[in-house]
């Protein structure tokens, strides 16, 4: 069955602790050398070295007389689309439609991101490729729920995973809790990347 046109999608389609697949455009660093692009050490800063501190050095063997494909060379770093698999959700704020994931993501603030149900978990979660994909959406808010949602506080609309909060040591501190001021500041952030076509 198809989802009716005009159905409002809710973040409660996802479950706390569920592992998801994320895709986004990474930071665009521009043209960089091998030291920043691949983490090379470069040459020594002393012992008579001159203008050789951040160069790649030798790029091929003498006998082959060619450069192997995939050799680390200077070039454009970032700015491409990357996928992150099995990212667990540890908090959901369904009043402001916010989803919190464990770890950092290499994308700009305000960038567009695609969130999908994780299917690379090999049976570790509620659904996988072996058990079949979940129904979409798994949660549809009622009309009464949508009308009374603005009357609830931000603290009442938090879905939290206690095991993952124990993993994040600073989550119990007051300064780490989300507040209405943080929500207002996030809404004022301008989009840095154009929306996907």
- Looking at the DSSP bridge assignments, the partners of residue 83 are 23
Residue 71 located in a structural domain: no
Residue 36 located in a structural domain: no
Q: Which domain holds residue 100?
A: 1-28+76-190
CATH number of domain containing 5: 2.40.30
What is the reported pTM? 0.69
Residue 66 located in a structural domain: no
Q: Give the total number of structural domains in the chain.
A: 1
- CA 43 from chain centre, in angstroms, equals 34
Token pair belonging to 166: 């124990």
Please report which helix (H) or strand (E) contains residue 166, including its range.
helix 162-167
Give the Cα separation of 114 and 145 in Å (integer).
26
Please report which helix (H) or strand (E) contains residue 56, including its range.
none
Residue 167 located in a structural domain: yes
Please report which helix (H) or strand (E) contains residue 77, including its range.
strand 75-78
The per-residue pLDDT string of the chain (197 residues; one tens digit each, 9 = 90 and over) reads 577 888 888 898 888 888 889 999 999 999 999 999 999 998 888 877 788 889 998 888 788 888 889 999 999 999 999 999 888 888 898 988 899 888 889 998 888 999 988 777 654 545 545 555 666 778 888 888 888 888 888 888 888 877 666 656 555 555 555 666 766 776 676 555 555 55
């Amino acid at each position: 069955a198809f989802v009716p046109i005009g159905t409002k999608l809710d973040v409660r389609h996802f479950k706390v602790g569920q592992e998801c697949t994320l895709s986004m455009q990474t930071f665009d660093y521009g043209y960089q050398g091998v030291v920043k692009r691949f983490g090379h050490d470069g040459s020594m800063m002393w012992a008579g070295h001159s203008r050789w501190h951040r160069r790649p050095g030798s790029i091929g063997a003498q006998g082959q007389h060619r450069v192997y494909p995939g050799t680390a060379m200077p070039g454009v770093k970032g700015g491409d689309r990357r996928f992150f698999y099995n990212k667990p959700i540890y908090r959901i704020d369904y009043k402001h439609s916010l989803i919190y994931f464990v770890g950092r993501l290499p994308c700009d603030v305000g960038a567009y991101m695609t969130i999908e149900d994780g299917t690379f978990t090999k049976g570790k979660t509620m659904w996988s490729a072996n058990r079949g994909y979940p129904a979409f959406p798994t949660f549809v808010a009622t009309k009464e729920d949508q009308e009374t949602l603005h009357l609830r506080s931000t603290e009442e609309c938090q879905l939290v995973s206690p095991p993952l909060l124990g993993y994040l040591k600073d989550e119990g501190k007051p300064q780490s809790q989300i507040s209405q001021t943080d929500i207002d500041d996030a809404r004022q952030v301008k989009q840095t990347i154009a929306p996907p076509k």
